[in-house]
Amino acid sequence: MESYLVHPSGPLTGSINISGAKNAVLPLMAATLLCRGVSTIDNVPQLDDVNTMADLLRHLGAKVNHQHQTLTIDSRACTHHKAPYHLVSKMRASIYVLGPLLARLGKASVAMPGGCAWGPRPVDLHIKAMQSLAAQVHLEHGNIHAHSGRLQGADFSFTTVSVGATANMLMAAVLAKGTTRLFNAAIEPEIDNLIDQLNAMGAQVFGKGSHTLVIEGVETLQAARISAIPDRIEAGTYLIAAAITQGAITLQQVEPKHLKALTNKLIAAGAQISSGENSISINASKRPLKAISVTTGPYPLFATDLQPQWLALVASLKGAAQVKETIYHDRFQHIPEFVRLGAKIRLQGNIAAIIGNPELSGAQVKASDLRAGAALILLGLIAQGHTQVHDIYHLDRGYHDLPQKLSQLGGTIQRLGKEPSIQPIRLCG
């Protein structure tokens, strides 16, 4: 099992480019199933999750080619409707093929993605959404089996704001007969990116950026070309890396407005932030930052995917703060690993109370999931001695060129080879 050896760094400095967003690319890839043609997606990072989705699309009959940062997906021969466990179990986002397969083939059989590293992640809203479009759905032997004639437009209200269920429903409804109205839809930038792609394919989706979406179903869609938006979570991780090391860096190829919730908190902590059209600079070198509390929430609130990294920051600063998680109440598997490094954190329900400790000491730790792994790397950059982060396959899911980008900023993390160890059970990503 490979690991990263993280060397303590001084303040990070310099400039890096941010990659395309994993969480945008995955639904964009699934949506290519809705047409019979050759689709192109630009700004696609080299990530394990992208490879997994490519393998899944190939399994369904597509030809997928990823060169440099461009993906071409030829979905003309997609006739298979089964997304098997060995692929779906690698990545929860595999559920994104449910809507497109139903819309295209009138049938889909997708293994249940199950729970993730930090606790339950239900798919009930995805299923109810498909049922509202007149699909018959039943669960058997760990699979979601769905079939339908042409899907029928309907009104559907999400009881919880769900990025994944909104995306799946959009992809199903664009080819449904009649009008679909979605209430309490997610407004994450990745949803807007998907809507742009669907409309470029000939779909009629209205209300982008609002919680109410109206979809006028069309008979067919054509292949289109779309670029994935910049990865706001990757960008946020590097901004926090600069903050934790009291550095000053610039990120290029970002969308500053997608990062407002984070940059506002960084400013409140005492960092200087300046934004260009597609760049953000942070300077955290002027004075020690203050520990600031955050509460996660759906966009445009503070992203849960930046919660472990923020928790790492406040764990290393003088002062007390709270981190409240409202999206995934159990997303705190990283705390015991932080504690190994000397962090002082008490968890009560979905609130972590932190007393900062600027004197952290390096240790052997384990990435419990993707962002938890990123947060441990950040702590390793400032802990005394070395920190070895194990189970880094999680990081390969979501951080393109992590060692190279950190090294461009003056940090050093070294990928260590496969040492004999017990193979972990890989849940849904």
Ligand X SMILES: CC(=O)N[C@H]1[C@@H](OP(=O)(O)OP(=O)(O)OC[C@H]2O[C@@H](n3ccc(=O)[nH]c3=O)[C@H](O)[C@@H]2O)O[C@H](CO)[C@@H](O)[C@@H]1O
Ligand Y SMILES: C=C(OP(=O)(O)O)C(=O)O
116 binds ligand Y (CB under 6 A): yes
Residue 162, contacted partner among ligand Y, ligand X, none, CB below 5-8 A by kind: ligand X
327 binds ligand X (CB under 6 A): yes
- Please list, in sequence order, all residues whose beta carbon lies within 8 angstroms of the beta carbon of residue 171, skipping any fewer than 6 positions away: 27, 30, 31, 34, 96, 99, 100, 103, 194, 198
User: Which residue in 27, 256, 298, 429 binds ligand Y (CB under 6 A)?
Assistant: 429
Which range, of 115-123, 130-138, 283-291, 413-421, touches ligand X by CB under 6 A? 115-123
Contact 176, 217 (CB under 8 A): yes
* Cis peptide upstream of residue 298 (ω within 30 degrees of 0): no
Residue 340, contacted partner among ligand X, ligand Y, none, CB below 5-8 A by kind: none
Cα–Cα distance, 331 to 163 (Å, whole number): 17
- Listed residue (415, 409, 337) closest to 10, CA to CA: 409
Which range, of 13-21, 34-42, 88-96, 204-212, touches ligand Y by CB under 6 A? 88-96
- Can you say how many angstroms the Cα of residue 125 is from the centroid of all Cα atoms in its chain? 19
334 binds ligand Y (CB under 6 A): no
Contact 362, 386 (CB under 8 A): yes
The helix (H) or strand (E) run that includes residue 339 is: helix 335-340
Residue 123, contacted partner among ligand Y, ligand X, none, CB below 5-8 A by kind: ligand X
Q: List the catalytic residue out of 35, 78, 116, 428.
A: 116
98 binds ligand X (CB under 6 A): no
Six-digit token string for 12: 């990070």
Residue 116 appears among annotated catalytic residues: yes
Residue 124, contacted partner among ligand X, ligand Y, none, CB below 5-8 A by kind: ligand X
Q: Which residue has the tokens 């901004």?
A: 239
Cα–Cα distance, 388 to 5 (Å, whole number): 4
90 binds ligand Y (CB under 6 A): no
Closer residue to ligand X, CB minimum distance, 98 or 103 = 98
Closer residue to ligand Y, CB minimum distance, 371 or 405 = 371
Residue 323, CA atoms < 13 Å, CB-side half-sphere: 32
Size, binding site for ligand X by CB under 6 A: 19
The binding site consists of 22-23, 92, 121-125, 305, 327
Contact residues: ligand X, CB under 6 A: 23, 26, 92-93, 121-126, 160, 162-165, 304-305, 327-328
